[in-house]
């Protein structure tokens, strides 16, 4: 017993020391990092932070400091000499439109598949124990919430082993770092993403049974601990990291990032954007990073009534979708204890879920809008921006029948377009606003409508979305990260980078809908 305890403690020390010693590109290459990212030698700031040093960073920095002020110094050539620049799957893959969409998706699983044991010690990639699937394009690593929607398609393709491996990686990240990072890069170790781990277990349980919930119970609890850190000590109207105590004492959650510096992967854009804000730089950067944790980077839902990026106030907002996901996490933990026959802990976590459900109803439902809204916990009112996040209470059966009917009516009247569902009702130029649409939100809306028996509208949305995906594929040979669903002949725009193709969650949701609705011809 003592031996086992010592072994466990040694692992704890190793993991925590390993995390403490991990350095991001900015920490490894001070001065060089800023110079490269503020220059335009790479159009995308993510290129350099994903590059792999060819030798010891200490030696690279010594040479850089020795050479940088000398006449004729070529910054780009220095970087090319000392770093391996990453490519994408697009460099080698050519799609076959004639083979059809299903064959294309099946081939993409191979294209997007990555071996876990090829990480260089000088890479920003975090090591994981199993192989995995990446989203595609500039996203060369595992991303947290993307993976759930990718798994929907992997299950349709009967690739249970890959799902097991990816869930195993997320469990490893929880055991090693105490949370699941935004993505498996050192520069993502300050934040997570929407907590879909418990939802992933629902997917795997369909193939493996309920033993999955008890097998991963320790990791479910670690995920919960991360999101709830410090909530016990909060008074009404106070917040700490991801936890907020509401004015009447309820605990709800927000997005947060441990850092208040510019994002390394978008350094120049953040530095330039900060010049236009009235917020203190650290506050602005934290709000930008918190929005990145949400996955909705960026949308007017995080901004004041003007919808301008410089007014971003993510940390003041209680997001309805995040709290629905944490309700599911609480219910899943309760379920894991019920399976074990632990009645006391089952009731404990069930009570937390019930309390959160009541809080979502209380703070996020807007009778005037007929919609579930985000809530500004400082100003004590719902925000002014109506977004597709309002369908999450249908996905998790938090809405009552009358609320679900009003949401469905508004969805049909305001969000439903020729190509699918727009993300918000505002055209701001941000990628998570109109006219853009994203696969994960289509799926949540469709599944949520089905939960309340609105099968006709759910099918209509699914058919329009599938038609959009197939139309773009037939004209380009690609499946995109996002789509313009109002002007369906126009590529989706906005965002901090060019339109990406691949694309993990688009493939997953599309294949799920094709099979669920038996769609082969439209």
Convert the pLDDT of each residue in 37-63 to its tens digit: 999 999 999 999 999 999 999 999 999
Domains in the chain: boundaries: 385-522
Percent of the chain at pLDDT > 70 equals 94
- In this prediction, residues 381-394 reach a mean pLDDT of 98
Single out the residue of 239, 235, 255 nearest to residue 317, CA to CA. 255
Written as six digits, the tokens of 413 are 């009247």
Length of the chain as a residue count: 522
Structure tokens at 298: 């960026």
Residue 520 falls in the annotated catalytic set: no
Residue with tokens 């197939």: 470
Residue 484's SS3 state is: strand
Q: What pLDDT score does 90 carry? A: 52
Nearest Cα neighbor of 514 from 455, 470, 451 is 470
Determine contact, residues 458/450, Cβ cutoff 8 Å.
Answer: yes
Q: Indicate the pTM of the whole model.
A: 0.94
Tokens of 361: 């109803």
Residue 297 a catalytic site member = yes
Q: CA 386 to CA 338: how far, in whole Å?
A: 37
| Mean local confidence (pLDDT), 489-501 | 77
- Which of 265, 481, 496, 501 is catalytic? The answer is 481
Model confidence band, residue 9 (pLDDT cutoffs 50, 70, 90): very low
Q: Specify the pLDDT at position 343.
A: 98
Backbone angles phi, psi at 342, to 5 degrees: -90, 90
Quote the CA–CA distance of 284 and 309 in Å, as a whole number.
10
Res. 462 pLDDT band, cuts 50 70 90: very high
Q: Which residues pair with residue 421 across a beta bridge? A: 416
Cα separation, 348 vs 332, in Å, equals 12
| Spatial separation of the C-alpha atoms in residues 281 and 287, rounded to whole Å | 10
> Quick one: pLDDT band at residue 363, thresholds 50, 70, 90?
very high
Beta pairing, strands 83-84 & 52-53: antiparallel
Flag whether pLDDT at 492 surpasses 90.
no
> 322: closest CA among 235, 192, 155?
192
Pseudo-torsion of CA 100, 105, 109, 112, nearest 10°? 100
Tens of pLDDT, residues 217-275: 999 999 999 999 999 999 999 999 999 999 999 999 999 999 999 999 999 999 999 99
pLDDT averaged over the chain? 94
Assess whether pLDDT exceeds 70 at residue 13.
no
Taking the C-alpha atoms of residue 3 and residue 277, their distance in angstroms, rounded to an integer, is 56
Name the nearest CA neighbour of 165 among 116, 134, 130, 217.
130
Mean pLDDT is lowest, of 73-82, 298-307, 376-385, 494-503, for 494-503
Strand residue runs (E) in 325-401:
365-366, 371-372, 375-376, 381-382
The conformational region for residue 429 under phi > 0 = left, psi -120 to 50 = alpha, else beta, is left
Assigned token pair, 181: 């990072």
| Cα–Cα distance for residue pair 317/296, rounded to 1 Å | 13
pLDDT greater than 60 at residue 502: yes
d(CA 40, CA 43): 6
Q: What is the mean pLDDT of residues 492-508?
A: 83
Percent of the chain with pLDDT over 90: 88
Cα separation, 474 vs 105, in Å, equals 13
* Cα 431 from Cα 298, distance rounded (Å): 6
Instruction: Report phi then psi at 280, rounded to 5.
Output: -60, 145
Closest CA to 184 of 129, 141, 123: 141
Beta strands in 27-100 (DSSP E): 52-53, 83-84
Give the DSSP H/E element, type plus range, for residue 308.
none
Q: Which residues are CB-neighbours of 67 under 8 A, at least 6 positions away?
A: 73, 78
374 pLDDT tier (thresholds 50, 70, 90): very high
Q: Which positions ≥6 away from 109 have C-beta within 8 Å?
A: 133, 154, 157, 159, 162, 507
Give the per-residue pLDDT at 521. 63
Q: Lowest-confidence range among 91-100, 268-277, 323-332, 375-384?
A: 91-100
For 387, phi and psi rounded to 5 degrees?
A: -135, 165
- Which of 141, 219, 297, 501 is the catalytic position? 297
CA distances from 128 to 145, 153, 170, 332 (A): 17, 22, 9, 25
CB-CB contact of 492 with 482 (8 Å): yes
DSSP 3-state assignment of 77? helix
Q: Which DSSP helix (H) or strand (E) runs through 421? A: strand 420-421
Q: What is the pLDDT of residue 21?
A: 64
| 151-193 tens-digit pLDDT | 999 999 999 999 999 999 999 999 999 999 999 999 999 999 9
Asked if 302 contacts 287 with a C-beta cutoff of 8 angstroms, the reply is: yes
Tokens linked to 387: 């977004």
């Amino acid at each position: 017993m003592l031996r086992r305890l010592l072994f466990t403690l040694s692992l704890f020390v190793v993991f925590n020391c390993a995390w403490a010693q991990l350095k991001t590109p900015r920490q490894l290459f001070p001065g060089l990092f800023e110079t490269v990212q503020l220059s335009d030698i790479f159009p995308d700031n993510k290129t350099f932070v994903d590059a792999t040093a060819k030798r010891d960073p200490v030696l690279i920095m010594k040479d850089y400091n020795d050479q940088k002020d000398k006449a004729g110094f070529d910054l780009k050539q220095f970087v090319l000499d000392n770093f391996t620049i990453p490519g994408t799957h697009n460099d080698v893959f050519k799609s076959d439109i004639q083979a059809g969409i299903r064959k294309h998706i099946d081939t993409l699983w191979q294209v997007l598949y990555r071996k876990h044991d090829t990480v260089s010690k000088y890479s920003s990639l975090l090591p994981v124990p199993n192989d995995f699937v990446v989203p595609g394009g500039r996203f060369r690593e595992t991303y947290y919430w993307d993976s759930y929607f990718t798994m929907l398609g992997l299950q349709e393709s009967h690739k249970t082993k890959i799902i097991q491996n990816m869930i195993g990686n997320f469990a490893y990240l929880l055991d090693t770092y105490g949370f699941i990072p935004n993505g498996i890069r050192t520069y993502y170790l300050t934040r997570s993403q929407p907590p879909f781990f418990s939802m992933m277990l629902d997917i795997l349980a369909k193939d493996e049974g309920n033993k999955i919930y008890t097998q991963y119970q320790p990791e479910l609890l670690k995920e919960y601990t991360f999101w709830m850190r410090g909530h016990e000590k909060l008074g009404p109207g106070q917040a700490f990291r991801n936890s907020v105590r509401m004015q009447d004492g309820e605990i709800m959650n927000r997005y947060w990032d441990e850092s208040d510096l510019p994002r390394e992967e978008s350094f120049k854009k953040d530095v330039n954007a900060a010049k236009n804000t009235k917020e203190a730089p650290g506050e602005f950067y934290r709000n930008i990073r918190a929005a990145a944790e949400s996955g909705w980077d960026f949308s007017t839902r995080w901004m004041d009534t003007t919808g301008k990026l410089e007014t971003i106030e993510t940390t003041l907002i209680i997001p309805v979708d995040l709290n629905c996901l944490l309700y599911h996490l609480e219910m899943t933990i309760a379920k894991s204890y019920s399976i074990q026959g632990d009645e006391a802990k089952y009731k404990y976590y069930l009570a937390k879920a019930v309390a959160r459900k009541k809080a979502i109803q209380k703070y996020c439902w807007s009778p005037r809008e007929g919609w579930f809204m985000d809530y500004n916990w400082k100003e004590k009112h719902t925000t002014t921006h109506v977004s597709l996040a309002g369908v999450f209470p249908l996905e998790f059966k938090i809405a009552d029948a009358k609320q679900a009917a009003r949401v469905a009516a508004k969805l049909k009247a305001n969000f439903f377009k020729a190509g699918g569902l727009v993300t918000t009702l505002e055209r701001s130029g941000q990628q998570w606003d109109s006219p853009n649409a994203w696969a994960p939100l289509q799926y949540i809306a469709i599944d949520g409508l089905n939960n309340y028996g609105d099968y006709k509208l759910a099918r209509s949305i699914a058919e329009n979305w599938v038609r959009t995906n197939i139309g773009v594929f037939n004209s380009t040979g690609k499946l995109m990260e996002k789509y313009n669903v109002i002007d369906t002949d126009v590529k989706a725009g906005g965002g901090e980078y060019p339109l990406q193709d691949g694309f993990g969650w688009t493939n997953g949701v599309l294949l799920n809908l094709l099979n669920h609705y038996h769609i082969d011809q439209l």
